[in-house]
Each structure stands twice: as C-alpha cells, then as structure tokens.
Amino acid sequence: MSINQSITPITLEEKDNLIIGGCDLVDLAKQYGTPLYVIDEQTLRGICREYKKVFANYKNIKMMYASKALCTSAIVKILAEEGFGFDTVSGGEIYTVYKAGVNMSDVLFNGNNKSKKEIELALDCKVGRFSVDNFYEAELLNDIASKKGLTADILLRITPGIECHTHNYIQTGQIDSKFGFDLTQIDMIADLVINKYKSLKLRGLHAHIGSQIFESRSYYDEVGILVKEFARIREKFNINLDEINIGGGLGVKYTENDNPPSVETLAEAVTRALEENSVQPNTIYIEPGRSIISTSGVTLYTVGSSKQVPGGRKYVAIDGGMADNPRPSMYQAEYTAKVANKIHYNKTEKVTLAGRYCESGDILIKEIELPPLDPGDIICVFNTGAYNYSMASNYNRVEKPAMVLVNNSLSDIIVYRETLDNLVSQDNIPDRLKKDD
C-alpha cells in the first residue's frame, strides 16, 4: 500500500496515548500548546522515496514538489535532501526555497498572474524555469528579462481539456479554467515566443489537471495530449523542445470512503502513455504536492465547551478550526480523528467537532464517533499536512499555530507559534490619530 493510501502516518502507535514519530501526542500538546501542527519526518521521507522508486527505470523523469501544499524552510530542506526540485507559485515560495539553500536551477515558477516584482525576484534568484500562463505574462517576462540582459527558459502552460472528478474549485485542466493557454492558442503564443520575444527560450509544455485526483486514467490521457502537442509544435516550428511537465494532483486518503490510486498506479499510467508515443521528451517533470506532505501531518486540538441541542446534535468545541484548517468550509473536506488520550475507550458517542471561530460554518468534522469528551482532551485530526498551515489565516485576530517535526522520539519546532505582538507588528496608527493620546 502506498503511503498516500493511508489515513495515518506510518509511525503511528497506540499505547497509553497516541504516538507518532516516537513522540506522545499528549506530551507534545503540553509542551508546545494547541492547536499544533505535527509533521512525521519518517512518513514524509518515505513517500518521497516511494515516488523515486516507482519511476526509477525512467531516468528522464524528475520530481518537483508542489510547494503550495506546505512550504516552510525545514520542509524544503527535507525535500531537497530527498532529491526533489520545487514548483513555486509566489515570490514568498521562491524566497523560502532560495533561503533554504536550494539549487535554484531545480525550481519552476508557476502561476496565472505573476507580478513584476515576483518575476524580477525569480530572475535574480536564477529560477530554472518559468511556466508561462498567458499572453500578458509572456510579454512582461520578455521585457523584464531583456532589461536585465537575461534569457528566461520557459514552458507554456496549456489546458488539455481534461475534466477529472474532483471538487470544482480544484479542477484546473478543463477548457473553462483561469489557468493556461487553450489548445487553439498554442501556435499563436509559440510563434510569439520563437519569433518575437528574443529573451525567452521555449523548452516545452506544462499542464496540471487538478488536485485530489482518484482516476489514474486522467494522467494517461493528459500525457498523451501533451506529447502529441509537443511533437506537433516541434515539427511545425522546427525547434528543439525537450521538456514536458505533467503537474501533480494525486489524491490521498482522508477517510475510509476515499480510494486514491497508489503511486505505483500513477507511474504505470504515465509511463504507459509515454511508451505508446514515439516522441520521448528529454525531461518529464512530475509535481506531487498533497500526496507528498498530507499523510505525514496531523493537527492537535484541545477540547473546550460542548452543547447538546435538544433532540439534535451534540457540539463539542475545540481551540482551533477554520483559521488553521479552512478546507472543510471551502471544499466540504472530510477528516478522520481520534482522541489522543482516550485510545482504549470502548464507549463512544456521536458528536460534531466545532471550531472556535465566529462563523456558523466553522465545523471541523460532522457527526463523528468518539469516546465521551471532556474539557482538556486532546483531539488528533489526521492527514492535515497539506493546505492547512499554507491556507491558515488570522481570522478573529487569532495567532497561527506552531509546527513541530517529529522523528525517533525527538521533536523540533519548525514554525514558531505566533504571538499577540506578531499580530500587531505590521499595524500602524497614523500621527493624525494620535493627537488625543
């Protein structure tokens, strides 16, 4: 079984309390406070090595971590050690991987509305590839690169017209998408890059069909389209294209109802599509994000108040919610949880875990069977490594949680908990408002 097909980290143990990475989760909650993001290093490295192993026979395939899933300096360091490059989508992500000491030739800058400032940063940091998303960006990038006396290596991001079965908000490969060039626009942008924009060098094509994908056939179809377009453009314009990037999006198992393909199944679909086409690009990039980081992460919460609706649900409130995990509110995402300090209780009750934020929609998990809960109990929500911290906010002016890395019974802070002083550090009161002080 692939790690992305597991709800829990591979080091999970059930002793007196829940244990991950050799660390007692109740002790972690006491030491670092809650809410607390916990990343299991062994699980993270394990899925990286699994990806490398299943593609080992295809030397032209390179792994790029989709940084938007979770981008911190320590996570970047681990991924770089495991031989991954980085797909970045902002100046902040570029700066994070740069400061972590990553070889920037292994970094791609992606996104549908890159700012002038971000493009300048990417060029100054010597980012290896730009995934050009639209006509405006191509002109802007060419202009900035020209003024710097540089040539930017680019891929053209295309929408291959594939609609995978996932949430509408995380589909990206269908024709009606904000991302990329439609197939009917490829020749026009290719002609501009080749014949007009002299500070751009076209290296290949890029596509991404969505996220939390459960159908390996989608990847087979995508690779077929990319390779055929790759061959057609190379022949029509008589240029030496050498790269395609198929994106990422492999799903993970949040609940027992989820059945994502294994990493090996993904590899079989991709390599079969490549083998069935005579044209073989020199380099094929794959950009897993969620499936790399999600299973290694859990979030710890402390139970607070509760409310029994007469004739209805029982709500149990935790000390976090939609600000540290907005996915249930945004995507109707579902999760699995356990009570870290009540592992061996036989009795259960059905409760709804409610967040502490001032929104009726701040519900973390609806109607989950858990042991009877008391204030102070520690809830462990599984599979929260991806898109929880990276989408976190300061809604209700609440500090963002800390993050710890666990391995071999050791725990280390990799993101410090925000303080109240952090919250007000960027605030400013104009002098004209201070006159009555």
Instruction: Select which of 23, 71, 358, 380 is catalytic.
Output: 358
Nearest to 10 by CA among 49, 62, 67: 49
Q: Which CATH superfamily is domain 40-293 in?
A: Alanine racemase (3.20.20.10)
Taking every pair of Cα atoms in the chain, the longest distance, rounded to a whole number of angstroms, is 77
Query: pLDDT, tens digit, for every residue of 310-340?
Result: 999 999 999 999 999 999 999 999 999 999 9
Half-sphere exposure of 355 (CA within 13 A, CB side): 24
Segment 155-171 mean pLDDT: 66
Q: How far apart are CA 278 and CA 290, in angstroms?
A: 31
Cβ pair 213, 164 in contact under 8 A:
yes
Does residue 242 sit in helix, strand or coil? Answer: coil
pLDDT number for residue 176 = 63
Beta strand extents in 239-376 (DSSP E only): 243-245, 283-286, 297-308, 314-318, 337-339, 349-354, 363-370
d(CA 388, CA 372): 27
Is position 71 annotated as part of the catalytic site?
A: no
Q: How far apart are CA 12 and CA 345, in angstroms?
A: 18
Cβ atoms 234, 274 nearer than 8 A: no
Q: How far apart are CA 27 and CA 29, in angstroms?
A: 5
User: Cα–Cα distance between 394 and 26 in angstroms, integer?
Assistant: 25
Q: What's residue 175's pLDDT? A: 58
How many Cα atoms occupy the beta-carbon half-sphere of 70 within 13 Å?
30
Q: What is the pLDDT of residues 199-241, one digit of tens each?
A: 999 999 999 998 899 999 999 999 999 999 999 999 999 998 9
